[in-house]
Amino acid sequence: MDLISNHISHRFGDLAVLDDVSFTVSAGEVVAIVGPSGCGKSTLLSILGGLLQPTSGAPELRGSPPADSLNPLTFVFQDFALLPWATVEENVEFSLLHTPLSATQRRALVEDALRRTGLTDFRKTYPKQLSGGMRQRVGISRALAVRPAILLMDEPLSALDSQTRELLMEDFVRLLADGGMGAVYVTHNLEEAARLADRIVVLSRRPGRIREVVSVPMTRAERGEIAAREKLLALQNQIWSLIRNEAIDAEREVQHA
Amino acid sequence: MLDRAPAGTSVKDEAARRVRFRGAGFVPASSRFGGWIALALVIAIWQAAGSTGLVNPLFLPAPSAIARAIYQLAVSGALWQHLSASLLRIGVGWLLGTAAGVVVGFAIGLSRLARSVGITFISALFPIPKIALLPLLILWLGIGEEPKIATIALGVFFSTAISVYSGVDAVPRNLIRMAQSFNVPFATIVRKVIWPGALPAILAGFRITASVALLLVVSAEMIGAQYGIGAFVLQAGNLMQTDQLLAGVVILSVFGLAVGKVIGWLETRLLHWR
């Protein structure tokens, strides 16, 4: 199943946030969206996931999701969005409660998702008892339980410390390794984008337009090797040179807002 | 860009000074027994003042006299007669007001139409002291339990509706968006996200409505009732039986404390995740 951003533009009142953004995420592909602060990255993701109505254009799907997918487009949120009154397993099961699955089938999916994210021993724990990294693991586990075709990840690591970020990045690489699941990964962190994405969509300053789409010329497995670091660094520098000046302008604009 | 500050002169030869601690205070911790000791002390001084004749018992009877009065009320059965009348009015009035307040509060929190209409009416009617409506309610509902219960229900309704819709408004939007992103139906979002999310505000509202109900039952009983703690207190005051009067006040205080404890217990049970 492909996800298409078809000429999407969006305004918040008088403020133009996105301007004619078009690209396609093919089945199993990971596309990162980067750009200066306030360029509309998260807005675009909300529109792609059907949580926000665009002013013009539309998000579209082409093809069918995998037969076992219960929620083809599934979000992983920056702030985890966990129910604080529910345990880890209840949070994961929450995404399945309204589906036609039986309790046994639900339990099996929750089990599998908890196991894949290393949360089996924390099933009865409440979110407040967990570290930021573990909370995000619950968010990922909840997303995996519904067997998504495409994960929509809105800066999923930005609320975490650098060590936890590194560990979760390894988890993402592993989860996306077999190409069975695609992802749209919004981030301001170019290193994350270069580590994870097949293609990187670079947005301009507000209103966000596509400045460039950069392909990452390596498999994700190759990127973990030491020899690849230089190439990845060069790629990050190339993208940074595209957005640096606009990032400075955006930062000043935010400060004066 | 950030510039470096000019380099300072070398201070290696000077003796080191300890950095003064500036972080004291502003963290009041309540002592476990402090409150009880203070209460016991006040009662002891009060008792001493009464026993030594320092205070006229007509104006302020000693705690022992009040305790005696409560005991006599209990033994004679009058305590239960008055208390049960008040409890019935509070219980029914509070339940009716709370049920209506929760429904209206949720409607205002979830529906644009209900919000536009509801907030206008609540803003206009909430400031009215509900006890002022008792004569009107007597006119409508007759002399009996109904107008007293209706007065309490009205007082409880407005506070409940306000705390419920404030609670619904305070539910983090990201949780609702999360649920929507999984295609969770509206009713399930209300039941599994909004209700538990609003519960802290709703329970906090219960504390307020419990005292509103207590205030209104006493006021209503003082205006027109034969039985009830309010009627008893008024009657005792008219007869200058200050020990009886204060016995009624103590019973009200104990009742208020008990309700507070019940709500505290509910909070511990239902909000353990906080």
- Say yes or no to pLDDT of A254 above 70: no
What percent of chain B stands above pLDDT 90?
75
Q: Report the pLDDT averaged over residues A29-53.
A: 93
What percent of chain A stands above pLDDT 70?
98
- Cβ atoms A43, A222 nearer than 8 A: no
Distance CA A72, CA A150 (A): 6
Distance CA A26, CA A50 (A): 18
- Say yes or no to pLDDT of A77 above 90: yes
Q: Report the pLDDT averaged over residues A3-12.
A: 95
Contacts by B36-45, CB closer than 8 A, 24 or more apart: none
How many other β-carbons are positioned within 10 Å of the β-carbon of residue B138? 19
Give pLDDT tens digits for B151-189.
Answer: 999 999 999 999 999 999 999 999 999 999 999 999 999
Q: Report the pLDDT averaged over residues A36-50.
A: 93
Residue A251's φ and ψ, nearest 5 degrees, are: -65, -45
A207 preceded by cis ω (within 30°)?
Answer: yes
What global pTM score does this model have? 0.84
- Exposure string (b/e) for B55-69, b if CB count within 10 Å is 16 or more? eeeeebbbbebbeeb
Q: Would you state the pLDDT for residue A245? A: 78
Q: Would you state the pLDDT for residue A257? A: 47
> What is the secondary structure of chain B as a DSSP string?
-PPPPPPPPP-TTSPP-PPPP---SS-----TTHHHHHHHHHHHHHHHHHHTTSS-TTTS--HHHHHHHHHHHHHHTHHHHHHHHHHHHHHHHHHHHHHHHHHHHHHHHH-HHHHHHHHHHHHHHTTS-GGGGHHHHHHHH-SSHHHHHHHHHHHHHHHHHHHHHHHHHHS-HHHHHHHHHTT--HHHHIIIIIHHHHHHHHHHHHHHHHHHHHHHHHHHHHHH-SSSHHHHHHHHHHTT-HHHHHHHHHHHHHHHHHHHHHHHHHHHHH-TT-
- Say yes or no to pLDDT of A60 above 90: yes
B271 contacts on A by Cβ (under 8 Å): 85
Do B273 and A85 make contact, defined as CB atoms within 8 angstroms? yes
Taking the mean position of all CA atoms in its chain, how far away is CA A149?
13
Residues with Cβ within 8 Å of B171's Cβ and at least 6 positions away in sequence, in order, are: B193, B194, B197, B198
Q: Is B124 exposed, middle or buried (0-12, 13-18, 19+ CB in 10 A)?
A: exposed
How many other β-carbons are positioned within 10 Å of the β-carbon of residue B123? 10
Helix, strand, or coil (residue A224)? coil
Do B181 and A74 make contact, defined as CB atoms within 8 angstroms? yes
Across chain B, what does the average pLDDT equal? Answer: 91
- DSSP conformation class of A110: H
Q: Which among B182, B184, B268, B269 is the top mutation candidate for probing chain A, defined by the most A β-carbons within 10 Å of its own β-carbon?
A: B182
Do B183 and A98 make contact, defined as CB atoms within 8 angstroms? yes
- Say yes or no to pLDDT of A255 above 60: no
Put simply, whether B175 touches A (Cβ < 8 Å) is: yes
Query: Minimal Cα–Cα distance from B270 to chain A, Å?
Result: 9
Do A75 and B183 make contact, defined as CB atoms within 8 angstroms? no
More confident residue, A163 or A46: A46
Distance CA A154, CA B76 (A): 71
Put simply, whether B119 touches A (Cβ < 8 Å) is: no
Q: How many helices (H) and strands (E) does chain A have?
A: 8, 9
Give pLDDT tens digits for B226-248.
Answer: 899 999 999 999 999 999 999 99
Which residue carries 């999916």 as its tokens? A109
Q: Which residue of B has its CA nearest to A126?
A: B273
Q: Report the pLDDT averaged over residues B63-68.
A: 94
B24 confidence band (pLDDT: 50, 70, 90):
confident
CA A214 → CA A106, A204, A205, B93, distances in Å? 40, 14, 17, 68
Put simply, whether B274 touches A (Cβ < 8 Å) is: yes
How many other β-carbons are positioned within 10 Å of the β-carbon of residue A183? 25
Least confident of A199-203, B142-146, B249-253: B142-146
Length of chain B: 274
B174 contacts on A by Cβ (under 8 Å): 77, 79, 81
Q: Which residue of A has its CA nearest to B195?
A: A85
Q: Which residues share a beta bridge with A24? A: A4
B183 contacts on A by Cβ (under 8 Å): 71, 98
B192 contacts on A by Cβ (under 8 Å): 83, 94, 97
Q: Which residue of B has its CA nearest to A127?
A: B273
- Say yes or no to pLDDT of B63 above 50: yes
The ipTM estimated for the assembled molecules is: 0.90
Q: Which residue of A has its CA nearest to B173?
A: A81
**Which residues does A contribute to its contact with B (CB < 8 Å)?**
49-51, 71, 73-75, 77, 79, 81, 83-86, 94-95, 97-98, 126, 128, 146
Q: Would you state the pLDDT for residue A124? A: 95
How many Cβ pairs within 8 Å bridge chains A and B? 49
Cβ within 8 Å of A, B 87-116: none
Which residue carries 């907030």 as its tokens? B119
Q: Would you state the pLDDT for residue B239? A: 92
Residues with Cβ within 8 Å of A190's Cβ and at least 6 positions away in sequence, in order, are: A34, A236, A239, A240
Give pLDDT tens digits for A195-228.
Answer: 899 999 999 988 999 999 999 988 887 887 888 8
Which two three-digit tokens encode residue B70? 């409560």
CA B48 → CA A59, B36, B59, B60, B63, distances in Å? 81, 18, 15, 12, 10
Do A81 and B196 make contact, defined as CB atoms within 8 angstroms? no
Least confident of A159-163, A195-199, B33-37, B190-194: A159-163
Cβ within 8 Å of A, B 145-174: 174
Do A84 and B179 make contact, defined as CB atoms within 8 angstroms? no
Which residue carries 């027994």 as its tokens? B33
Q: Would you state the pLDDT for residue A229? A: 86
Question: What does DSSP say about strands A2-12 and A15-25: parallel, antiparallel, or unpaired?
Answer: antiparallel
Put simply, whether B182 touches A (Cβ < 8 Å) is: yes
A74 contacts on B by Cβ (under 8 Å): 181-182
Distance CA B237, CA A37 (A): 70
Put simply, whether B191 touches A (Cβ < 8 Å) is: no
